[in-house]
Amino acid sequence: MSRQGPSEKIRGSAGQRVKRSREVRMAEKFVGTPKKATTHVNQNENLIFEESSPGKKGYRLAQLDVPAVDASALLGDALRRDGLGMMPELSEIEIVRHFTRLSTWNYAIDLGMYPLGSCTMKYNPRINEAVARLEGLAEAHPYQPESLSQGALGIMKLLSDCLLEITGMDAITLQPAAGAQGELTGLLLVRAYQESKGRARKKILIPDSAHGTNPASAAICGYQVANLRSNALGMVDLAELERMVDEDVAAMMLTNPSTIGVFESEIHKIADILHAKGALLYMDGANMNALVGKTRPGDFGVDVMHLNLHKTFSTPHGGGGPGSGPVACKKILEPFLPQPTIRTNPDGSLGLEYNRPQSIGRVRAWYGNFGMFVRALAYILANGPDGLRQTTEDAVLNANYIRAKLEGVFDLPYKSPSLHEVVFSDRLQSQRKDGQPGVKTGDMGKRLIDYGFHAYTVSFPLVVPGAMMIEPTESESRDELDLLIDALRQIAREAEENPELVRTAPHTTRLQRLDETMAARKPVLRWKGPAAG
């Protein structure tokens, strides 16, 4: 529950009375009422356990009309329970109101934009959800025989063909459950290939602008990680790459466009340098939302890559997932793909091929997250080639619109052309000329919450100190972008005129500043009832 200062009641635009905290009134004194955010009508909510009263029920059952059974005889005493233990006891209306109130606190893509850079939090079209819920698809079971699964196999085959055309690659697996597992799968393919050539290589090169999961995936796969510095343009330093590639390098993991939103303009030279030494080029495809329909990784030298269906192809993120991270590769890596793969039988039907002696084996139960395949294919087919290309162009346009409106307000460390995202830094706000403490990227991200927006990506990529990473995607209208731009401009003025207001943000949330270090190191993940006694 939030700790609020003295408050007053004022009448809102809808005629309802809401509480304004002292901090909010102080904020408004300096900056005026935010254009988007309003104080929530339900400021606090107890845990459902705290609302519980012994004996309350949300149901009423009829008397048993069958003989009672001795549970101990069926289950044994070890599994038998005489009561619900510490389960909460409430009426139906209390339960409904509790969870409905909690649901109104959620921030979601259906409520507003996520300016998170690198995460590509685009809108999930409802047609995707409708198709995924069709009875024959939603209730399909992986144990069904192939003869009764031709529709599902057809979806997987068509999606595979679409993704191969989009990426310019030769073969693909849909098994990996997310981008990070896709990275691991791709590196396992690299290792199997190198070992098949009699080359036991030890190192993976990773630029300092790469995604954070890249070094973790390489380490899990048993490789040493060698960091590659970026040049002044935020791109791979070719001279440094030439120096570092030797007979121990198995591959390079390259995020392209990089996490600063810059396309590697000399990607062909990068591929040539690696291939000349027998190393492969792995591309982290998390930022494909900037490339689809415009260029294909397979055409500029990439040997293997993963795709994030939840980033580029509009399937749900996180708890709304599960995710999906297909891995596409060139022909030289095809023998090592996880089994099974989809095959076309002599009679034209589809089946699954398990006889793959060089396969790295399964990386995921069944054949991957089928519901995500349905959604991604629905998105691809609904847009078509022209629509996918337009999506890419709109995403790049939106990012550059934000860049043009905020350049000079915030420091822009790299002047290279931006694609789908733009990375500013907090240098102008954190280093005040009067010697007073400034505000940092995390402060401004929290203050943005008061304006009704989810924070941008804070302090990443690490190559930019105090990074403010913004990716609007193609989903957002100009009106929404202008609201975000106005909010960030206002926060920049606050940082100059009243930095304490920003340093203590957010002010309109139920909880104020949390102890983030303690939350990470000693999280409290369960409710403990009062001690018996």
Q: Please determine, for residue 495, whether its predicted confidence score (pLDDT) is greater than 60.
A: yes
Report pLDDT for 37.
Answer: 64
Report pLDDT for 107.
Answer: 83
Q: Please determine, for residue 48, whether its predicted confidence score (pLDDT) is greater than 60.
A: yes
Mean of pLDDT values over 204-220: 91
Confidence of residue 4 (pLDDT cuts 50, 70, 90): very low
| DSSP reduced 3-state for 404 | helix
Q: Please determine, for residue 270, whether its predicted confidence score (pLDDT) is greater than 60.
A: yes
Q: Quick one: fold of 127-381?
A: Aspartate Aminotransferase; domain 2 (3.40.640)
Listing DSSP states for 194-263 in one string gives: HHHTT----EEEEETTS-THHHHHHHHTT-EEEEE-B-TTSSB-HHHHHHH--TTEEEEEEESS-TTS--
What is the torsion angle, in degrees rounded to the nearest 10, for the CA atoms of residue 368, residue 374, residue 379 and residue 381?
Answer: 110
Report pLDDT for 13.
Answer: 35
**pLDDT for 287-307, tens place per residue?**
999 999 999 999 999 999 999
The more confident residue out of 30 and 224 is 224
- Residue 35: count of CB within 10 angstroms of its CB: 12
The more confident residue out of 22 and 393 is 393
Q: Please determine, for residue 255, whether its predicted confidence score (pLDDT) is greater than 90.
A: yes
Task: Specify the CATH architecture of the domain 392-521.
Answer: Alpha-Beta Complex (3.90)
**C-alpha closest to that of 338 among 189, 211, 492:** 189
CA distance 247 to 202: 9
Q: What is the mean pLDDT of the chain?
A: 88
Mean of pLDDT values over 123-147: 92
The gap between the terminal CA atoms of the chain, to the nearest Å, is 27
Which residue spans of the chain are classified as CATH 3.40.640.10?
127-381
Report pLDDT for 42.
Answer: 60
Q: Are 228 and 207 in contact (CB under 8 A)?
A: yes
**pLDDT for 312-341, tens place per residue?**
999 988 665 678 999 999 999 999 999 999
Rg of the chain over Cα atoms, rounded to whole angstroms, equals 27
Report pLDDT for 39.
Answer: 58
Q: Are 339 and 147 in contact (CB under 8 A)?
A: no
Report pLDDT for 5.
Answer: 35
CA distance 270 to 147: 46
Determine the Cα angle at 287 with ends 105 and 280, to 5°: 140
**pLDDT for 381-429, tens place per residue?**
999 999 999 999 999 999 999 999 999 999 999 999 999 999 999 999 9
Q: Please determine, for residue 71, whether its predicted confidence score (pLDDT) is greater than 80.
A: no
Report pLDDT for 304.
Answer: 98
Contacts 24+ apart (CB under 8 A), 407-412: 409/488, 409/489, 409/492, 410/468, 410/488, 410/492
What residues form DSSP beta bridges with 11?
A: 17
Report pLDDT for 18.
Answer: 38
Report pLDDT for 230.
Answer: 87
Report pLDDT for 516.
Answer: 85
The amino acid at residue 395 is: A
Mean of pLDDT values over 340-368: 94
Q: Are 509 and 462 in contact (CB under 8 A)?
A: no
Which residue spans of the chain are classified as CATH 3.90.1150.10?
392-521
**pLDDT for 228-241, tens place per residue?**
988 888 899 999 99
CA distance 418 to 416: 6
Mean of pLDDT values over 491-497: 95
The contacts of residue 100 (CB under 8 Å, 6+ apart) are: none
**What percentage of the chain carries pLDDT values higher than 90?**
67
| DSSP reduced 3-state for 400 | helix
Q: Are 227 and 244 in contact (CB under 8 A)?
A: no
Q: To which H or E segment does residue 305 belong?
A: strand 304-307
- Helix 441-450, helix 478-497: angle, nearest 10: 120
* Structure tokens, 272: 């040539």
Q: Are 333 and 298 in contact (CB under 8 A)?
A: no
Q: Are 329 and 303 in contact (CB under 8 A)?
A: yes
Report pLDDT for 352.
Answer: 95
Give the largest Cα separation in the chain, rounded.
Answer: 83
Q: Are 290 and 284 in contact (CB under 8 A)?
A: no
- Helix 213-220, helix 179-196: angle, nearest 10: 40
Q: Please determine, for residue 57, whether its predicted confidence score (pLDDT) is greater than 50.
A: yes
CA distance 97 to 122: 30
CA distance 134 to 132: 6
* Structure tokens, 234: 């935020």
**pLDDT for 437-477, tens place per residue?**
899 999 999 999 999 899 999 999 988 999 999 999 999 99
Confidence of residue 211 (pLDDT cuts 50, 70, 90): confident
Report pLDDT for 436.
Answer: 80
CA distance 427 to 410: 8
Q: To which H or E segment does residue 9 belong?
A: strand 8-11
Q: Are 319 and 340 in contact (CB under 8 A)?
A: no
- Residue 36: count of CB within 10 angstroms of its CB: 15
Query: What are the phi and psi torsion angles at 226 (to 5°)?
Result: -115, 125
The contacts of residue 214 (CB under 8 Å, 6+ apart) are: 183, 206, 253, 255, 284
